[in-house]
Amino acid sequence: MKRYLYSGDTEKLERVQCDVLIIGSGIAGLYSALHIDKNHKVIVITKTQVDGSNSWLAQGGIASVIAPDDFFDSHIEDTLVAGAGLCDRKAVEVLVDEGPRNIQELIADNVPFDHNPEGDLEITREGGHSHRRIVHAGGDATGRETTKRLGEIALTKENIEVKFNTYMVDLFTDEHGVTGALINDGEYKIVECSNIILATGGIGHIYLSTTNPKGAIGDGICSAVRAGAETYGMELVQFHPTTLAIGSMENSERAFLISEAVRGEGGILRNQRGEAFMQGKHPRADLAPRDIVTRAILAEMKKENIDNVWLDVSSMSEEFFKHRFPTIYQKCHESGIDVPREYIPIRPSQHYQMGGVKTDLNGKTNVDGLYAAGECAWTGIHGANRLASNSMLECLVFGRRAAEYINDNFRPTVKNIEVSKDNSSIESTDVERKQLEVRKIVSTYANAVRTRQGLAKGKELIDDISAKADKLKLVTQEDYDYYNMVCTAKMILDGANNRKESIGAHYIEG
């Protein structure tokens, strides 16, 4: 693996300084920025705009023990059950215990959570949860409403600068830990900073079909690995059972999610013959854990040789559906599906990356000064399978913890850090086709249902591509993206081949 991607002359680049650099403007990035001491200068960078994140797209809501009949042990237990034995119990306890306090803070910050006509907070239930504990905003636009509000607040803070359309290429380190990053905001620049939080989100676009936005390719995780950070569980990839099945997977920018909450409100999965095929497959039927529902759908699709199954939402009135799921209602109607009368065609797509950069309970990685929070991190709370709506909560709880830890353990900026570059010379060509090739390999061999033989084949193909990619001179963002996609794919296939047991989302057939 290369140490650096950048191959230009680093000597001539402009240098800027800050106290804390945060990479990513999703909920993890913004919330952590808001918890850094106001006397520290913070720069938040983001590849596109504030809407270019998984956070913006999150629909269902945020899980937390808020309802009077709910209790901490139940949320802990549900999370551990979903995680199939791979959760870190301590991390789960922190998540659950500190959840309500952070929800209260969002309420105080005027995140517009939905209320019922009596004025009480609406709290709903999703798959895998034994109690109602999901708060939501804008009906099914919780992520958008939360990210928008956190972004608005961040923009009012004098110590926080948010740089849009800016991407991080490389992280720099010395013998004491992280010292800075190479970024591009139209020009390459070196940010000198010894406290860096990675909040770079997921990896979805290394699969053909994903609910994630285009930039989600795991490049933050790859940069951390090149800087010496350890990862865990990269093979633990969650698929969402119900994404809108329209058009071919290869050409789709992003699969539109039909939230689990739709099944929570009475939606039923049906096969070609109209049978409710989840009945009898699991005690929670349509609300069984995501991996079980995903595999049941794939089995139906295989059995009937069809590209999708259906979600029957006809038990809900149009008025209710439109109010509760405005985004889904609109998308279905734009796509010519007359919900709730007509069934919604659905199929599984990649959705969430459980694994990531390994951290402790304060977001600290093994590289001093480098922290990770949110979807790019492995805190141990999701184990082998994430429980619905626990991920935004993770962004809040662990994003805040990383910020508070930095406040207490601040590392001064090293000025005039030594930086190096990559010296490869083979020109990179045909990058778009090569990116598609990687996505096809990962989708074929490291999907929701895996085989030992398939994983070995996938690894062989990616190892070959990876060895060739290491020799390429990378010049454009597309080149970097390609290299990072190969790196992410390799971590997933290596992890999947190394993990001997079939567990949670890492399901081995036979």
Q: Shortest approach of ligand FAD to residue 457 CB, angstroms?
A: 29
Residue 32 binds to ligand FAD (criterion: CB under 6 A): no
φ, ψ for residue 424, nearest 5 deg: -65, 155
Task: Name which of 136 and 459 has its Cβ closer to ligand FAD.
Answer: 136
Query: Of all helices (H) and strands (E), which one includes residue 219?
Result: helix 219-226
Prior bond of 340 cis (ω within 30°): yes
Q: 481: Cβ–Cβ under 8 A, 6 or more apart, which residues?
A: 217, 219, 431, 435
Per CB under 6 A, the list member of 4, 20, 21, 29 interacting with ligand FAD is: 29
290 counts as catalytic: yes
Residue with tokens 């309970």: 361
Task: Name which of 242 and 271 has its Cβ closer to ligand FAD.
Answer: 242
CA distance 346 to 496: 27
Residue 23 binds to ligand FAD (criterion: CB under 6 A): yes
Which residue type does 412 have? P
Per CB under 6 A, the list member of 102, 242, 294, 391 interacting with ligand FAD is: 391
Beta strands in 225-332 (DSSP E): 231-232, 237-244, 268-270, 309-312
Active-site hit among 125, 133, 290, 401: 290
Per CB under 6 A, the list member of 5, 18, 27, 462 interacting with ligand FAD is: 27
Q: Mask 140-159, x = binds ligand FAD (CB under 6 A)?
A: --xx----------------
State the Cα torsion 333-147-219-496 to the nearest 10°. -70
Return the range that interacts with ligand FAD (CB under 6 A); candidates 70-78, 97-105, 209-217, 299-307. 209-217
Task: Name which of 61 and 340 has its Cβ closer to ligand FAD.
Answer: 61
Q: Is 20 left (phi over 0), alpha (psi -120 to 50) or beta?
A: beta
Q: Which two tokens stand for residue 403?
A: 């910020």
Per CB under 6 A, the list member of 168, 206, 244, 296 interacting with ligand FAD is: 168
Which DSSP symbol is given to 451?
-
Residue 324 binds to ligand FAD (criterion: CB under 6 A): no
Task: Name which of 198 and 455 has its Cβ closer to ligand FAD.
Answer: 198
Task: Name which of 30 and 455 has its Cβ closer to ligand FAD.
Answer: 30
Residue with tokens 């990513």: 24
Residues contributing to the site for ligand FAD (CB under 6 A): 23-29, 45-48, 52-55, 57-62, 142-143, 167-168, 199-202, 211-212, 215, 219-220, 257, 352, 374-375, 389-392, 395
User: Which residues are catalytic, by number?
Assistant: 290
